[in-house]
Amino acid sequence: MRNPLSDLIVQIPPSGIRKFFDIVSEMEGAISLGVGEPDFDTPWHIRDEGIHSLKKGRTFYTSNAGLKELKIEICRYLERRFHVNYDYTDEVMVTVGGSEAIDIALRAMLNPGDEVLIPQPSYVSYVPCTVLAGGVPVEVQLEEKDRFRLTKDKLLEKITPKTKILILPFPNNPTGSIMEEEDLREIAKIVEEKDLFVISDEIYCELTYKGKHNTIAALPGMKERTVLINGFSKSYAMTGWRLGYACAPAVILKQMLKIHQYAIMCAPTTSQYAAIEALRNGDEDVERMRGAYDERRRFLVKALRDMGFDCYEPQGAFYVFPSIKRFGMSSDAFALKLLEEEKVAVVPGTAFGDCGEGYLRISYAYSLKDLKRALERIERFLKKLDAKE
Amino acid sequence: MREKILAVLEKNSRIDLGELASILGESEANIANEMAEMERDNVICGYHTLINWEKTGNEKMVALIEVKVTPQRGMGFDKIAERIYQYSEVESIYLMSGAYDFMVMLEGKTMREVAQFVSEKLSPMDSVLSTATHFVLKKYKDHGTIMCDKPEDERMLITP
């Protein structure tokens, strides 16, 4: 029999997270701080709107780009929150999560051999999606000394004549770093000079703890060069609804829509109706959840520092990214040992790129009670480590 | 800061000072001062526990009594309320807008004790015109807390 598989897909390694997931799943009684989704349920009024749409028999496809009402609400929201204007008729599309938007944006824009700058550590899908779209991923290292922000110098170092796209994954998973307006201005200048495009993944935009999120698309001259990606998963605790969106200049969006049309048809109809309610009446929920995350963030950072971790204070998302360099162990080894000895699951930093070596990602999408229980175990683990030294 | 402290305490009065300080990003001394002041000013009136008595096998009733009264010169609503809340049986009492004047709640009593309270103490009071007593059959949610068992965390253990 012939090899049934594509060489391209076979050479892409499975997600580092997957490997760790398999080990954790086997372990009885493990407590996990490894989750990348909110612990809150979707607010009831949003769920109710989804249920209502089903009761009314709204069970058909929507148009490819999504419900008109939803696209209009998305534009209003972006205007209201981040002062960026999009035309709902040809600059917005609703996708199956932010993930789909990342994939189709890359596929719509890349020609074979085009280079994509990917700041790392970052979410796991940028590199494989780039490869699948025929592009060449180029890592740009985010460093703790820069507060894990993307700097001008780091960016310039990696730009070549083949560079076409810069991915901006802020607020950042896994480091919790953000980009302030000043930081973005510097980046925007280079993007314009070097004639690049930006894919800005802003899925954590509502979860910032020191002031409001800034989008690069709102800077002068940037909207024409930016695909803004966002979604409902993190802001409204709607991960399972699989709903995101992309906003882009019409010429790019038109091609993205073509891929979406052939591969997906449309995002889930029920989820779209629920999302309209989220955007219309969900501000208080967002604020309530942000407040809870913020409490946990402060609690967790202090607790980790008190027990001897060197820990950058995250400003966004719901992760802390403490350094474990002083223990002289790899991230993988540390995470595995912590799991085996104290049954606490955290994600090794290397799951988010090689430069995550020496770090762990700890999620605070957990109740304070759960966090405390896990922290007691981590503290015991550190004491044992320190005693051995 | 007061409001933030209260918001946390309202949900968890057992939180220790260190934890409270760390989640609010304040010093322990500041928090302790604020709390002492609020206790003194009766902003914080107590630290209670939310108990699901149904689970203890303890057969206590909760009764809501709607009370209509006639306030008179020298005997306004506040005075009447005071006469009612002095009874130790009364768990809470509110002045209401609408069809009746006071909502009186009795908690942890048998049905006979409730009946006795209404017929022998509350109804005979001069200012009381009428009462209507309701018994709570089941508590689903109290103080913003759902009383039934919490569902397990159904999220996958590790996700990107």
pLDDT tens, per residue, chain A with 389 residues = 999 999 999 999 988 788 788 889 888 889 999 999 999 999 999 999 999 999 999 999 999 999 999 999 999 999 999 999 999 999 999 999 999 999 999 999 999 999 999 999 999 999 999 999 999 999 999 999 999 999 999 999 999 999 999 999 999 999 999 999 999 999 999 999 999 999 999 999 999 999 999 999 999 999 999 999 999 999 999 999 999 999 999 999 999 999 999 999 999 999 999 999 999 999 999 999 999 999 999 999 999 999 999 999 999 999 999 999 999 999 999 999 999 999 999 999 999 999 999 999 999 999 999 999 999 999 999 999 988 76
Same domain, residue pair A221 and A369 = no
Distance CA A365, CA A37 (A): 7
Who among A17, A125, A299 is closest to B158 (CB)? A17
Same domain, residue pair A173 and A317 = no
Who among B22, B155, B160 is closest to A302 (CB)? B22
Query: What is the value of ipTM here, to two decimals?
Result: 0.84
CATH number of domain containing A199 = 3.40.640.10
List of residues 6+ apart from A344 with CB closer than 8 A: A30, A31, A32, A33, A338, A374, A377, A378, A381
Same domain, residue pair A249 and A370 = no
Last residue of a domain, one of A257, A281, A305: A281
Crossing angle (nearest 10°) for helices A331-342 and A16-26: 10
Query: What is the distance in angstroms between the CA of the first residue and the CA of the last residue of chain B?
Result: 35
From chain B, the residues in CB contact with A351 under 8 A are: 160
Same domain, residue pair A180 and A291 = no
AA letter at A320: V
Same domain, residue pair A59 and A25 = no
Segment (H or E) for A19: helix A16-26
Last residue of a domain, one of A259, A281, A303: A281
Is residue A1, in this structure, part of any structural domain at all?
A: no
CB contact under 8 A, A35 and B19: no
Is omega for the bond preceding A119 within 30 degrees of 0, making it cis? Answer: no
Is residue A83, in this structure, part of any structural domain at all?
A: yes
The alpha carbon of residue A94 is apart from the nearest alpha carbon of chain B, in Å, by 22
Is residue A255, in this structure, part of any structural domain at all?
A: yes
The alpha carbon of residue A15 is apart from the nearest alpha carbon of chain B, in Å, by 9
A376 touches chain B (CB under 8 A): no
From chain A, the residues in CB contact with B153 under 8 A are: 39
Same domain, residue pair A250 and A122 = yes
Same domain, residue pair A17 and A52 = no
Looking at residue A221, the DSSP 8-state letter turns out to be T
Distance CA B102, CA B81 (A): 8
pLDDT digits (tens, 9 = 90+) for A92-142: 999 999 999 999 999 999 999 999 999 999 999 999 999 999 999 999 999
Give the domain range for residue A58: 44-281
Who among A32, A173, A302 is closest to B158 (CB)? A32
The structural domain count of chain A equals 2
- pLDDT of amino acid A386: 84
Q: Searching chain B, which residue's CA lies closest to the CA of residue A99?
A: B160
* Alpha carbon separation from A344 to A33, A115, A321, A341 (Å, rounded): 7, 38, 16, 8
> Strands, E, within chain A: which ranges?
31-32, 92-95, 115-120, 136-141, 163-168, 197-201, 226-231, 244-247, 319-320, 344-345, 347-348, 360-363
Distance CA A236, CA A229 (A): 16
From chain B, the residues in CB contact with A30 under 8 A are: 157
Q: To 5 degrees, how large is the angle CA A41–CA A50–CA A364? A: 20
Same domain, residue pair A231 and A342 = no
CB contact under 8 A, A35 and B158: yes
Same domain, residue pair A349 and A263 = no
Q: Searching chain B, which residue's CA lies closest to the CA of residue A25?
A: B157
- pLDDT of amino acid A389: 66
Same domain, residue pair A110 and A37 = no
Last residue of a domain, one of A281, A311, A330: A281
Is residue A2, in this structure, part of any structural domain at all?
A: no
Q: Searching chain B, which residue's CA lies closest to the CA of residue A15?
A: B160
- Residue B104's Cβ-count burial label (10 Å; 0-12, 13-18, 19+) is buried
Cα B80 to chain center, whole Å? Answer: 20
Same domain, residue pair A337 and A255 = no
CATH number of domain containing A356 = 3.90.1150.10
Average confidence (pLDDT) over B29-43: 96
Closest CA to B11 of A369, A93, A338, A344: A369
CB contact under 8 A, A368 and B156: no
B144 touches chain A (CB under 8 A): no
Same domain, residue pair A86 and A210 = yes
Distance CA A135, CA A128 (A): 10
- pLDDT of amino acid A14: 87
Residue B108 has pLDDT above 80, yes or no: no
- pLDDT of amino acid A38: 97
Segment (H or E) for A271: helix A269-281
Is residue A98, in this structure, part of any structural domain at all?
A: yes
pLDDT digits (tens, 9 = 90+) for B10-32: 999 999 999 999 999 999 999 99
Q: To 5 degrees, how large is the angle CA A308–CA A362–CA A126? A: 130
Average pLDDT, whole number, for chain A? 96
Is residue A129, in this structure, part of any structural domain at all?
A: yes
pLDDT digits (tens, 9 = 90+) for B85-96: 999 999 999 999
* Alpha carbon separation from A233 to A81, A203, A204, A236, B55 (Å, rounded): 17, 8, 9, 6, 36
